[in-house]
């Protein structure tokens, strides 16, 4: 594949699964920006590009210059936003649903409400601790039907139904980021440069990303919180685990997430 255009490359995730990290590394490797297929344009120019040329807005945390507006990586949470193409390449990033719920809870409570000043569908109570409020939030996320994307289990099922989708686990990205990047590049049928991969992985380490974001926009730095796996273990009780498993156990077993 000598060129990648809007019609044939997209990274998709259920929110808070770590796709932005992979996007930034792929963006650097390919030297093209990524655009948010879910985001509404914030300017007149952006609205015209979206309406007449179907070019979506650049993602908020993208840093690669857009030299050619037709050449970019697509990013979405919603399957029906993926452009149809006979030669499309889709990478799906999956993360343990328990960690996803913890991350999503903090993201909405602290970033969406307090930094973006947006209302959330869930009515947070600032007087409650995470342990006191998390279960109600998880139930809200799994049972509310008004979101533009499915709950975690249904989202993963949809990815599994497309044999052409290449799936990367966030936990594997944490353990072996260079190896996972190499797998993604191989899937995209691009020239492999292991030295460049190592340099890009180092540049986009969680600590460096957090520092850069803090230096550029102090308030936005909480968008990157911990970047770990297994945080759920200190927060989930038996009832919460049984609830998650009632929806997600089959999908969790496929990807070898422990169900204890």
CATH 3.40.50.300 maps onto the chain at: 9-95+156-206
φ and ψ of 18, to 5 deg: 95, 10
Tens-of-pLDDT digits for all 260 residues of the chain? 334 444 578 999 999 999 999 999 999 999 988 888 888 877 787 788 777 777 888 887 776 777 777 788 999 999 988 877 767 899 999 999 999 999 999 999 988 888 888 899 999 999 999 999 999 999 999 998 766 678 999 999 999 999 899 999 999 999 999 999 999 999 999 999 999 999 999 998 878 777 776 666 555 544 556 677 899 999 999 999 999 999 999 999 999 998 87
Q: Could you give the CA distance from residue 241 to residue 137 in angstroms, rounded to a whole number?
A: 14
Name the pTM for this structure. 0.89
With beta carbons less than 8 A apart as the criterion, state whether 125 and 201 touch: no
- Per the CATH hierarchy, to which homologous superfamily does domain 9-95+156-206 belong? P-loop containing nucleotide triphosphate hydrolases (3.40.50.300)
Tokens 């594949």, located at residue: 1
**Measured torsion, CA atoms of residues 51, 34, 115, 113, in degrees rounded to the nearest 10:** 70
With beta carbons less than 8 A apart as the criterion, state whether 165 and 159 touch: yes
**pLDDT at residue 259 in the model:** 87
């Amino acid at each position: 594949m000598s060129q990648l255009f809007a019609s044939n490359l997209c990274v998709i995730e259920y929110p808070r699964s770590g796709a932005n990290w992979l996007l930034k590394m792929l963006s650097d490797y390919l030297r093209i920006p990524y655009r948010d297929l879910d985001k509404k344009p914030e300017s007149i120019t952006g609205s015209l590009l979206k309406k007449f040329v179907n070019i979506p807005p650049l993602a908020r945390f993208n840093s690669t210059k857009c030299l050619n507006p037709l050449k970019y990586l697509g990013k979405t949470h919603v399957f029906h936003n993926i452009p149809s193409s006979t030669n499309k390449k889709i990478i799906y990033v999956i993360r343990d649903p328990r960690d996803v719920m913890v991350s999503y809870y903090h993201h909405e409570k602290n970033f969406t409400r307090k930094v973006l000043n947006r209302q959330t569908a869930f009515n947070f109570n600032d007087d409650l601790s995470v342990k006191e409020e998390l279960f109600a939030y998880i139930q809200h996320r799994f049972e509310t039907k008004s979101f533009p994307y499915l709950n975690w289990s249904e989202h993963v099922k949809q990815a599994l139904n497309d044999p052409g989708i290449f799936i990367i686990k966030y936990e594997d990205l944490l353990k072996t980021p260079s190896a996972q990047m190499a797998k993604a590049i191989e899937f995209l049928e691009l020239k492999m440069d292991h030295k460049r991969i190592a340099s890009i992985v180092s540049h986009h380490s969680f600590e460096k990303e957090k520092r850069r974001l803090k230096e550029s926009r102090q308030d936005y730095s909480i968008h990157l919180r911990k970047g770990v796996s297994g945080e759920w273990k200190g927060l989930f009780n038996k009832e919460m685990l049984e609830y998650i498993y009632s929806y997600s156990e089959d999908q969790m077993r496929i990807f070898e997430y422990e169900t204890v």
